[in-house]
Chains A and B, each alone.
Chain A
Amino acid sequence: MPETIRKPEGVPEPSTPPKKVPRRQMLITLGIALNAVAGVLFAIPLAGYIFGPSKRKEIRKELSWITLGSLAQFPEGETRLATYRNPFVRPWDGDTANIPCWVRRISANKLQVFAINCTHLGCPVRWFPQSGLFMCPCHGGVYYADGARASGPPPRGLFQYDYKIEGGELWIKAGEVPTLATPPSQACADTLRRGACA
């Protein structure tokens, strides 16, 4: 064994003794194994970095109670646009972190807070008080005043935020873009088709 160790690299073998082959083969195997391990150690943190934002639980933590301001701005029997600053922000978010929503005050303490996003494909719905309808400008979705689907392609009624009234202010629980996979309130997640969730 010591002899083979002393042998300098690159010197051509006079003959090909079968004893040496496993040793060189072993180095190749070792090299591949080392690189594979290193590669995995390299890739795992990268994948964690790239897909970090998808960790549902951490985002759920970011969902928090946000005030929409004094309850007095929302007269009974009317539906008004309100905006809030998203609780999960970066300093360079600019206007994109200002999120709108529709607040419908039914009676003194009974409200509905609708997400702006159409449940079909997320376009901003507009409230028409005269006809009591929300209309979507993209693919023709229409909803009634209580958020129930009226016509068009939406698969369910408008998304709603959980709300509470504290100290004369209206608070909603929000923080992520509402889609069918990420409805802001689980309470109304199964109000498909015509179902209203009041």
Chain B
Amino acid sequence: MRLIKDLAEWFDQRLQLGKPLKETMQHPVPRSTASWAYVFGSASLTVMALQFVTGICLAFVYVPSAGQAWASLQVLNQQQSLGWFVRALHGWGSNFMVALVLVHMVQVFSFGAYKYPRELTWIVGVFLLLMTLGMAFTGQVLRFDQDAYWGLGIGASVIGRTPLIGAPLVHAMLGGPIIAGETLSRFFSMHVFIFPAMLIAFVGVHLLMVLKLGINEWPMPGRIVKRSTYLKEYHELTQKDGVPFVPDAFRKDLVFSGVIILALVVCSALFGPFGPKGPPDPTVVQTVPRPDFFFLWLYAALALLPPQMETFLLLVGPVLAIGFLIALPLISGTGEKHWRRRPIAILSLLVIIVSLAALTQLSTYAPWSPDMDAWSSTPVPPKLLQGRSALERTGAVVLQAKQCRNCHALGGEGGQRGPALDSVATRMTGDQLVRQVLQGGGNMPAYGKNLSPAETTALVAFLKTLHPSNEAPARDSSLVGVVAAPQTRPEAASP
């Protein structure tokens, strides 16, 4: 014991860090900040530190070469002892970090913590968010599989929409004319050197400002932030009703970080590493590329944006969004902090959260994408074929063979790109069906060139049977008086 104390003193005489460190740790913070709502920033920092450790460990084995990266991931998963677990820790750590950074940001926004004098802390925080997302995206590229390959293709296509300098930007991003060796090396360099260095620098500044400016006090309705009085009020608050950061506020940070690390270990052990999926061989075109969880909303947005506005929104949208986040504390740097007195801010936040959640949820079943295998793997429900004529059954075969099911569901199965066909006969008459099939329209391709007259007749005959038995099929009212023919399909004839 004595030896340790002597050693500590020996070092402290030379380093002289003991006293300032103790003062920093014990600096008074408002009692209200020793709360469970204030633990997300420190937890993000903890996970970031773990990411550095697991990332360095992965770099012991990973080969950043387009030809061998995928094989080295297989070695990590299958052969290197506990390689799968380190990969799992790093992959889950990535998800945890993005999630914690987002929750931290939501908390800071709801508590008005970006207001005077903490504007710059928020702005640096916005850059930290961008760095975190940058790490998540470049990390996904380093898991060099099919998804990574086609994800890079999507990135290049987005950048290629830039007017005038699109081509040089694409080549700068890819490090050459195609997605290949130099592309992976570029993203490797970004993921392990550039972004981490910037993260460390920005985190340093972010923490320094938290120390210098103090932790944002729990907001109270009616306690208005004014530039002239805030600093004095905050100082009084920490003096009159302050507690030392360590241990009073720190103990909750400590417990929460422990919980997060445990959760990370449990998730990694239970669910294992992410991918890699198939090898990055572009000649394998039987692939359905999907981004990682935190970019799914973007994938949905790219499918649902109106095509005419897409290029504009893709190029200008991010600039506007980031610009707004940076400008936010400069626009509303004073005034009320409490959420009850900031209805527009809180409603906007809710709209953003609900939108992102809805887009993410949509992209889990991607109704905008054709179901590429439905035509050969999802049969027509037998119920729809019972009691049908030979012509109508032939129509069902045409429906399957011409890949209609890739976009149209029957009995709840098949693509969702177009409307389900279970009751199509109640919406369209035979003539309308013929026109729609042959000419397309309303986002449906025209099949005129690919259907013989006989096939069309059979297909439409089948489609005309698709209506609930208690609901009459659509009919052409202009013809009713002339033809006066009864709807001849006797539903009751079904066995």
Count of chain B residues near A, Cβ 8 A: 68
For B449, list chain A residues within 8 Å (CB): 132, 144-145
Total A-B contacts with CB atoms under 8 angstroms apart: 219
Docked CA distance A83–B280 (Å): 15
Instruction: Collect the chain B residues with CB atoms within 8 Å of residue A144's CB.
Output: 445-446, 449
Q: Which of B68, B181, B302 has the most CB of A within 10 A?
A: B181
Name the CB-closest residue of B to A127.
B285
CA distance A175 to B181 in the complex (A): 15
Main secondary structure of the interface of A (DSSP, over half): loop
**CB closest residue in chain B, given A116:** B285
Nearest Cβ distance between residue A169 and chain B, in whole angstroms? 19
Q: Does A97 touch B at the CB level, under 8 Å?
A: yes
Contacts of B440 in A (CB 8 A): 150-151
Among the stretches B10-18, B84-92, B99-107, B150-158, the one at the interface with A is B150-158
| Chain B residue with the shortest CB-CB distance to A126 | B285
Contact with B along A87-114 (1 / 0, CB 8 A): 0111011111111100000000000000
Beta-carbon contact of B157 and A179 below 8 Å: yes
Q: Which residues does chain B contribute within 8 Å of A97, judged by CB atoms?
A: 178, 180
Q: Do residues A138 and B369 form an inter-chain contact, with CB atoms below 8 A?
A: yes
Binds B, one of A32-40, A51-59, A70-78, A160-168: A51-59
Select B67's contact among A62, A95, A117, A133, beta carbons within 8 Å.
A95
**Cβ–Cβ contact B305 & A153, under 8 A:** yes
B156 touches A130 (CB 8 A): no
Taking the complex as formed, is B319 at the interface, i.e. its CB lies under 8 A from any CB of chain A?
A: no
Most buried by B among A55, A124, A125, A132: A124
Nearest B residue to A151 via CB reads B443
A17 to chain B, nearest CB (A): 40
Q: Name which residue of chain A comes closest to B370, CB basis.
A: A135
A123 touches B282 (CB 8 A): no
In the complex, whether A15 has a CB less than 8 A from a CB of chain B is no
Q: CB-CB < 8 A to B406: which residues of A? A: 128, 135
Question: What is the distance, in angstroms, from B458's C-beta to the closest C-beta of chain A?
Answer: 15
Minimum-distance CB pairs A-B, first 5: A94-B67, A181-B166, A179-B160, A176-B177, A150-B445
- A residues contacting B by CB (< 8 A) are 50-51, 53-56, 59, 62-63, 81, 83, 86, 88-90, 92-100, 116-117, 120-126, 128, 130-133, 135-140, 142, 144-145, 150-155, 175-177, 179-182
